[in-house]
Amino acid sequence: MVKSLLLKMIGSHGYELHRKDGRSSFAGVLRHAKKMGVNPAEVIDVGAAHGRFTEICSRIFPNAGYLLIEPLKEYTPYLDKVCSKLSRSRHILIAAASRSGEMTLNVHPDLVGSSFYREDEDSDVNGVPRSVSTAPLDDLVKNAGALSPYLLKVDVQGSELDVLYGAGETLKNTELLILEASFLSFFAGAPIFYDVIAHMKSRGFVVYDIFGLSHRPLDGALAQADIAFVKEDSPLRADHHYATGEQRRALTRRLRTR
């Protein structure tokens, strides 16, 4: 009753109340994707770290299986705990890459920023080099018996495209892909935002959403963002209209009253 009265009062003054959709977070983007019909059988979390993405995702897609991939042994206790709460989940201590073998990972003091690329910064950021095992994502997915369609998240500090070079078959069955991209060359030789967009376009994927913006402490410049991709012919892009007729009329009224 109170809510209805408030809405009427606001409307009588020519205003409309709109709920903020919370699309600036993983949870908001995933909830929206589910609402639009995304329903993965398997969520693949590459660069799982503490497993927080999987924790968020499992609340939204509780019936999906979860495959977590992470090369740092320091995160194993966290991932054990996360997987113990999910009936169909497992984690692998390995780095997804374009090929099988060994690569040198620069283990940062904060762990989170660890990368196969080095940063050209006057600090101890690059940490300690460590040899880690690598394998193509396609092999890891196949060996794990992961079921498609997939929701794929890749956050590997500059090596996102290297992961995708080894994920051709996996991408064919991916309905939503989330990558982290940098706007500046923090990692020497690593691809940045426009490289990622161009590469994904060549693989048949286009941007669906951008969220999780972060700014560098140096000067406040835009540093990184999470980007959600879908296939160009995805059902999520079937309608290219901006609004329904009713929505357009409401938008026009709102703009005319400003």
Q: At 201, phi and psi to the nearest 5?
A: -60, -40
Q: Give the chain's end-to-end CA distance (angstroms, integer).
A: 28
Model pLDDT, residue 120:
77
Higher-confidence residue of 196 and 120: namely 196
For residue 251, give Cα distances in angstroms to 4, 11, 14, 116. 21, 14, 12, 48
Contact 66, 79 (CB under 8 A): no
In the CATH scheme, what is the code of domain 20-256?
3.40.50.150
Residue type, 133: S
For residue 123, give Cα distances in angstroms to 69, 127, 156, 247. 28, 9, 21, 52
Q: Is 37 helix (H, G, I), strand (E, B) or coil?
A: coil
Residue 208: CB atoms within 10 A of its CB come to: 21
Q: Which segments of 46-102 does DSSP mark as H helices, in order?
A: 52-60, 76-84
Model pLDDT, residue 217:
93
Mean pLDDT lowest among 28-37, 107-116, 228-237? 107-116
Is residue 9 very low, low, confident or very high in pLDDT (cuts 50, 70, 90)? low
Q: Is the peptide bond before 149 cis (omega within 30 degrees of 0)?
A: yes
Contact 115, 88 (CB under 8 A): no
Is residue 22 very low, low, confident or very high in pLDDT (cuts 50, 70, 90)? low
For 116, the token pair is 């196969």
Nearest to 95 by CA among 119, 118, 114: 114
Model pLDDT, residue 2:
42
- CA atoms within 13 A of residue 38's CA, in its CB half-sphere: 27
Q: Is 11 helix (H, G, I), strand (E, B) or coil?
A: helix
CA distance 96 to 216: 27
- pLDDT tens digits for range 46-92: 999 999 999 999 999 999 999 999 999 999 999 999 999 999 999 99
Contact 161, 196 (CB under 8 A): yes
Give mean pLDDT, residues 206-235: 96
Model pLDDT, residue 238:
94
Q: Name the residue ranges covered by the structural domains of the chain.
A: 20-256
152 pLDDT above the threshold of 50: yes
- pLDDT tens digits for range 94-105: 999 999 999 988
Q: Report DSSP letters for 179-198, one per residue.
A: EEEESS--BTT---HHHHHH
CA distance 126 to 109: 8
Q: How many residues are present in the chain?
A: 258
Identify the sign of the CA torsion 160, 165, 166, 167.
Answer: positive
For 255, the token pair is 């703009």
Q: Which residues are paired to 96 by β-bridges?
A: 135
